[in-house]
């Protein structure tokens, strides 16, 4: 379909007339004349008249069977940026629709991707937004890039590399996502030529050298396939062609092999009349040649996100080699080449852009854009989506959901509905209960179990693969953190005020609080709470702004004592009896009844948080324990390890040692632990089928550094594979 040879007003008009007979070609003539006039005297880097470039771009757009406005914009796309022509002129001459498109393309052209990561993210975001506004802007830009890549040889090697890399990173994936197969393929091959010229030219040479034998092989096997299909009264078009260089290059990279070891360099395509025939043809082929397991893909039942449909299979060919075969209908073939444009319906000479069902992908991007305010997060999200392969799974009702490769039940839950995701506690895959982190495979039937008390946690971000789920979880956590820090900030201020015998409602009424809010450049008390909660604003700095001098001087020892008695009242515990002092101080009291969370079993040295349990003292968790994060933050108190007392206190910790199953190793491990001056209170060992041993020790350690000493001593022993602390 590519037409690298000189395009002209005549060739463009002829192409348009071929698919749109009623086209009012005057528009194209007018746009051509306008561009020719504007670019008069300008030359390209090749030394040719500039007008060749917009004409080629317009020709590509006509080859894609786009609407009149898009093709006119192809002709006009560089006038505003590179000539004296203005947007106002274009608007006057060609109307708002075309002027808006030219404006969109001009703005996109000013985006460059080679700057810092952050700028790249922001630029990419602009690009997606432009695409969401009118997909035709991106189609013109793709055609523009294609022509620039075709003529890249006239630029400096440095520029060539930059443009080729950008094309490979951004434009080829977009062409793929939009389903325009031939543009994607051509862009990738051109990129290879400039990014890895050595490989490109070696491939080109080898292919040229083996051309005759390859052609013979292709013709012979095509003929064989054709005959086999005829035996079953099937009317099919069989063709074979060399795979493009970039895909061969990819295969070489992936399998770490050289060109002569990549055998399946030719792909065969069978085009039949209808879907039934597709499956029939597949049956004929599988009956004649042994299919390679795992290589059959049914993109007819489950089309790709870009609308691509086809059956793919790889079989062992007559010479014992691998042969890739694609089977599809004529219509599917058109979609595979032309992408989204093949779906568009004409309405009075232009596309009915509202019925663009295939731009769902772009709409999804727009949704994430609203959820993610950080451009880097957005870029990461989009990149995952641009490059990932997909899996297809079913709802219990048989509806198909398309998910990113490696997706978990959580991804599925979010694909069903945001609320289903937020409330997901588990899943059944093909009737069996699986953990949330389970990886789904194509064909799985997934049923989600929800609970009203469930809510997303940060850990979920490690589990999910799809951009949508990530965006939704991040948004939820951010909102929750904001809420929590507001509550925390308010509580912090309230507590601080109490020390001065003041209250929040008092300073709110007096208007002093509002003054402080304004003095900090904030808009509302809520922003102040958040600032305090996040620790951006210090309460000690804030108090003098709120309270009058007299009140500030009134903070006495008595007030501090009151603090203590308040805490005691809440805790409802008397001073502990006996000699043993606590390993923990709670809000500077070192004699409060303390328990350790069995979930995380903190050790001196771990960073910790405490939660008040009425009548039962304080429960201590490690700061990263999920229980601590889920606990009611209002009950949270500051706790510290009581350094002076730690030496005398021992805590039991479980460690798991994975090792080779060798005689005497248990004895060596026990000696190593004892050698660190640590007591072992229990030891357990079992062996695994693969000749390994798992030993579990309960050891009594004083603090984290002592534990580290043991683990590194154990790790240094021959036969030991890994050592880890068990938290359960
Ligand atoms: Mn251009």
- Is residue 12 within 8 A of residue 65, CB to CB? The reply is no
Mean pLDDT of 34-38: 94
How far is residue 500's CA from residue 528's CA, in Å, rounded to a whole number?
A: 20
Distance CA 90, CA 71 (A): 15
pLDDT in tens, 271-288: 999 998 999 999 999 988
**pLDDT higher at 568 or 130:** 130
* Cβ contact 178:306 at 8 Å: yes
Q: What percent of the chain has pLDDT over 90?
A: 19
Between the CA of 159 and the centroid of ligand 1 the distance, in Å, is 16
Q: What is the b/e burial string over 254-290, where b = at least 16 CB atoms within 10 angstroms of the residue's CB?
A: eeeeebeebeebbbbbbbbeebebbbbbbebbeeebe
Strands lying side by side in the sheet with 432-434: 432-434, 424-429, 446-450
SS3 704: helix
Distance CA 33, CA 280 (A): 53
- The pairing of strands 584-586 and 594-596 is unpaired
Catalytic residues: 81-82
How far apart (Å, rounded) are the C-alpha atoms in residues 356 and 338?
A: 14
Taking the centre of ligand 1 as the mean of its atom positions, its distance from the CA of residue 64, in whole angstroms, is 17
The answer, as to whether pTM is greater than 0.85, is no
**Mean pLDDT, residues 107-124 taken together:** 60
The Cα 311–Cα 309 span in angstroms is: 7
Helix, strand or coil, per DSSP, at residue 443: coil
User: Could you report the per-residue pLDDT of 137-149, keeping only the tens digit for each?
Assistant: 888 999 999 999 9
Higher pLDDT, 107 or 3: 107
Q: Taking residues 705-721, report their average pLDDT.
A: 87
Return the higher-pLDDT residue of 487 and 645: 487
**What distance in angstroms lies between residue 80's CA and the mean position of ligand 1's atoms?**
11
Q: Where does the pLDDT of residue 250 fall: very low under 50, low under 70, confident under 90, or very high at 90 and above?
A: confident
Q: Rounded to 5 degrees, what are φ and ψ at 613?
A: -115, 115
User: How much distance in Å is there from the Cα of 690 to the middle of ligand 1?
Assistant: 62
- How many angstroms does the Cα of residue 54 sit away from the middle of ligand 1? 6
User: What is the 103 CA–ligand 1 centroid distance (Å)?
Assistant: 13
Check pLDDT > 70 for residue 195: yes
3-state secondary structure of 525: helix
pLDDT tens, position by position, 474-517: 888 888 777 877 877 787 788 778 777 778 888 888 788 888 88
C-alpha 48 to ligand 1 mean position (Å):
14
What is the widest separation between alpha-carbon atoms in the chain? 104
Q: Hey, which residues does 683 pair with through a beta bridge?
A: 697
pLDDT of residue 58: 96
Judged on CB neighbours under 10 Å (0-12, 13-18, 19+), 629 is: middle
The residue to which tokens 């069903």 are assigned = 416
Q: What is the mean pLDDT of the chain?
A: 79
8 Å CB contact between 270 and 281? yes
Residue 242 has pLDDT above 50, yes or no: yes
**For residue 290, which of 308, 258, 313, 263 has the smallest C-alpha distance?**
313
What are the two backbone dihedrals, phi and then psi, of residue 140, each rounded to the nearest 5 degrees?
Answer: -65, -45
SS3 content of the chain, % helix, strand, coil (to 5): 55, 15, 30
Tokens 């080699």 found at:
321
């Amino acid at each position: 379909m590519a037409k690298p040879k000189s395009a002209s007003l005549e060739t463009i008009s002829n192409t348009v007339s071929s698919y749109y007979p009623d086209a009012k070609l005057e528009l194209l003539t007018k746009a051509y004349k306008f561009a020719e006039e504007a670019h008069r005297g300008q030359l390209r880097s090749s030394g040719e008249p500039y007008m060749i470039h917009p004409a080629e771009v317009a020709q590509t757009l006509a080859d894609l069977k786009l609407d009149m406005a898009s093709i006119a914009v192809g002709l006009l796309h560089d006038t505003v940026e590179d000539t004296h022509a203005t947007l106002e002129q274009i608007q006057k001459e060609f109307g708002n629709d075309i002027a808006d498109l030219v404006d969109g393309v001009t703005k996109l052209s000013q985006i460059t991707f080679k700057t810092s990561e952050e700028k790249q993210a922001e630029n990419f975001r602009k690009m997606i937004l432009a695409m969401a506004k009118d997909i035709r802007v991106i189609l013109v830009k793709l055609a523009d890039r294609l022509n620039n890549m075709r003529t890249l040889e006239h630029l400096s090697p440095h520029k060539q590399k930059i443009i080729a890399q950008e094309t490979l990173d951004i434009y080829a994936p977009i062409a793929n996502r939009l389903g325009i197969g031939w543009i994607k393929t051509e862009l990738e091959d051109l990129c290879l030529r400039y990014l890895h010229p050595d490989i490109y030219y070696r491939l080109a040479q080898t292919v040229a050298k083996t051309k005759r034998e390859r052609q013979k092989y292709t013709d012979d096997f095509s003929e064989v396939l054709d005959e086999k299909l005829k035996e079953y009264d099937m009317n099919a078009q069989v063709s074979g062609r060399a795979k493009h260089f970039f895909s061969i290059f990819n295969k070489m990279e992936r399998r770490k092999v050289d060109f002569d070891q990549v055998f399946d360099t030719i792909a065969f395509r069978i085009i039949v009349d209808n879907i039934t025939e597709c499956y029939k043809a597949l049956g004929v082929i599988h009956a004649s040649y042994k299919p390679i397991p795992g290589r059959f893909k049914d993109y007819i039942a489950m089309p790709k996100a870009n609308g691509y449909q086809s059956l793919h299979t790889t079989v062992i060919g007559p010479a014992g080699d691998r042969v890739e075969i694609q089977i599809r209908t004529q219509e599917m073939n058109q979609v595979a080449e032309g992408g989204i444009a093949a779906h568009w319906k004409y309405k009075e000479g232009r596309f009915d852009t509202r019925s663009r069902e295939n731009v769902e992908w772009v709409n999804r991007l727009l949704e994430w854009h609203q959820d993610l305010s950080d451009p880097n997060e957005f870029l990461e999200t989009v990149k995952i989506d641009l490059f990932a392969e997909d899996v297809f799974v079913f709802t219990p009702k048989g509806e198909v959901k398309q998910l990113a490769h490696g997706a978990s039940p959580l991804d599925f839950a979010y694909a069903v509905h945001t609320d289903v995701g937020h409330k997901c506690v588990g899943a059944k895959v093909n009737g069996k209960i699986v953990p949330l982190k389970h990886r789904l495979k194509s064909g799985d039937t997934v049923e989600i179990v929800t609970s009203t008390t469930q809510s997303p946690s940060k850990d979920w971000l490690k589990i999910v693969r799809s951009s949508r789920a990530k965006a939704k979880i991040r948004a939820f956590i951010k909102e929750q953190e904001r809420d929590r820090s507001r509550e925390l900030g308010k509580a912090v201020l309230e507590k601080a005020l109490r020390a001065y015998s003041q209250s929040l409602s008092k300073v709110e009424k007096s208007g002093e609080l509002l003054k402080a809010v304004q003095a900090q450049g904030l808009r509302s008390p809520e922003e102040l709470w958040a600032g305090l909660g996040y620790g951006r604003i210090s309460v000690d700095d804030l108090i003098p702004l709120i309270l009058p001098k007299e009140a500030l001087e009134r903070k006495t020892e008595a007030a501090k004592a009151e603090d203590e008695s308040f805490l005691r009242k809440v805790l409802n515990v008397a001073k502990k009896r006996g000699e043993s002092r606590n390993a923990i101080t709670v809000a500077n009291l070192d004699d409060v009844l303390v328990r350790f969370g069995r979930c995380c079993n903190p050790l001196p040295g771990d960073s910790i948080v405490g939660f008040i349990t009425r009548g039962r003292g304080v429960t201590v968790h490690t700061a990263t324990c999920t229980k601590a994060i889920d606990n009611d933050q209002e009950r949270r108190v500051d706790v510290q390890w009581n350094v002076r007392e730690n030496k005398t206190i021992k805590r039991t910790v479980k460690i798991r040692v994975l090792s080779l199953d060798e005689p005497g190793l248990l004895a060596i491990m026990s000696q190593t632990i004892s050698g660190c001056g640590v007591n072992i209170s229990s030891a357990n060992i079992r062996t695994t089928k693969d000749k390994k041993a798992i030993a579990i020790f309960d050891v009594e350690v004083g603090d984290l550094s002592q534990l580290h000493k043991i683990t590194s001593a154990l790790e240094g022993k021959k036969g030991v594979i890994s050592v880890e602390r068990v938290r359960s």
